[in-house]
Amino acid sequence: MGIVNVTPDSFADGGRHADPAAAIAHARALRADGADIVDVGGESTRPGAPPVAERDELARVLPVVAALAADGAIVSVDTMKPGVMRAAIAAGATMVNDVRALTAPGALEAVADSGVALCLMHMRGAPRTMQDAPEYADVVAEVRAFLVARAAACEAAGIARERILLDPGFGFGKSLGHNLALLHALPSLAAAGYPVLAGLSRKSMLGALTGRPVGERMVASVAAALAAVARGAAIVRVHDVRETVDALKVWAAVDAGRAPA
Ligand code: 7PJ
């Protein structure tokens, strides 16, 4: 999954694709580099980010979703707002990626009324404050229990189990230790029976491990993506698609122990 931010303030590529035309061109390049899914987001969720009005988010996201869907791309919309979910689905998005796991009023219904896929992500707190000393008694058990409960709520609302993915939400209300415990324990989340999506690309945990600023975390990001796939992730959400695809090709061939078909 390639990341397409249509925002003036995302931490990893802030502003580079803020207008729809630039975002469409970027998404097409990511597809050419081997992305199977493009994840289009119009509201930054970086720690401390201000909220975005629905009308502004729609103006950013809809032209990008429509153009990519017309290309035949699998388009995911990264949003917490039911109105944006509905409009993006109408414009051709076939996946909703919600860092609030459909907890906003009306979000469950927006997805249940469609046939699209759904990524439920765990976040502790809200973006503005989530990195203020997050605490857990058992981060792995708590994140897993939250996600399984949200999946059950979605299924009760009529969303088929086959449509649901789970994501532990690296960096969303988690310390470095919490993030590493979750990545280490990814097999136990995968054992819940839903495909797992992992988003580690360029995140501050990689800065903490390597000492590198956000613009120099590509190698760390590829290593993290490989680690996630090796521990059971079905989808990795990344900025550096070309490099990640190369690494995954090598890893998959070694894992298979034979030449690719
Ligand atoms: C994630 C996301 C993630 C999912 C962002 C960033 C911050 N969606 N949206 N998982 N992160 N599902 O790109 O670093 O980890 S925004």
How far is residue 244's CA from residue 35's CA, in Å, rounded to a whole number? 9
> What's the whole-number mean pLDDT along residues 162-169?
98
Q: What's the confidence (pLDDT) of residue 15?
A: 58
Q: Which two tokens stand for residue 228?
A: 């996630």
Q: What's the confidence (pLDDT) of residue 28?
A: 98
> What's the whole-number mean pLDDT along residues 7-36?
83
How far is residue 45's CA from residue 14's CA, in Å, rounded to a whole number? 12
pLDDT band at 7 (very low <50, low <70, confident <90, very high): confident
> What's the whole-number mean pLDDT along residues 31-59?
91
Element holding 95 (H helix, E strand): strand 95-98
The residue that leads in pLDDT, 18 or 29, is 29
How far is residue 239's CA from residue 5's CA, in Å, rounded to a whole number? 10
> What's the whole-number mean pLDDT along residues 14-33?
87
Active site residue 203: yes
For residue 78, list its beta bridge partners. 41, 97
Cα-Cα-Cα-Cα torsion 60, 66, 67, 69, nearest 10 degrees, comes to: 130
Averaged pLDDT score across all residues of the chain: 94
How far is residue 11's CA from residue 247's CA, in Å, rounded to a whole number? 24
How far is residue 239's CA from residue 211's CA, in Å, rounded to a whole number? 19
**What are the strands of the beta sheet with 2-5, ordered from one edge?**
2-5, 37-41, 74-78, 95-98, 117-121, 164-167
Model confidence at 85: pLDDT above 60: yes
* Residue at token pair 């590529």: 13
- Residue 160: how many CB atoms within 10 A of its CB? 12
How far is residue 50's CA from residue 27's CA, in Å, rounded to a whole number? 25
Per-residue pLDDT tens digits for 210-243? 999 999 999 999 999 999 999 999 999 999 999 9
> What's the whole-number mean pLDDT along residues 17-45?
93
Per-residue pLDDT tens digits for 93-108? 999 999 999 999 999 9
pLDDT band at 126 (very low <50, low <70, confident <90, very high): confident
CB-based burial label for 223 (10 Å; 0-12, 13-18, 19+): middle
Tell me how far the alpha carbon of residue 196 lies from the centroid of ligand 1, in angstroms.
Answer: 13
Active site residue 237: yes
Q: What is the 3-state secondary structure (H, E, C) of 5-44?
A: ECCCCCCCCCCCCCCHHHHHHHHHHHHHCCCCEEEEECCC
Model confidence at 13: pLDDT above 80: no
CB-based burial label for 188 (10 Å; 0-12, 13-18, 19+): middle
Tell me how far the alpha carbon of residue 41 lies from the centroid of ligand 1, in angstroms.
Answer: 10
Q: What's the confidence (pLDDT) of residue 58?
A: 96
Tell me how far the alpha carbon of residue 45 lies from the centroid of ligand 1, in angstroms.
Answer: 8
Q: Ligand 1, residue 12: give the atom nearest the CA.
A: 14
pLDDT band at 12 (very low <50, low <70, confident <90, very high): low
Ligand 1 atom 1: the closest Cα is on which residue?
199
Q: Which of 31, 174, 203, 217 is catalytic?
A: 203
Model confidence at 10: pLDDT above 60: no
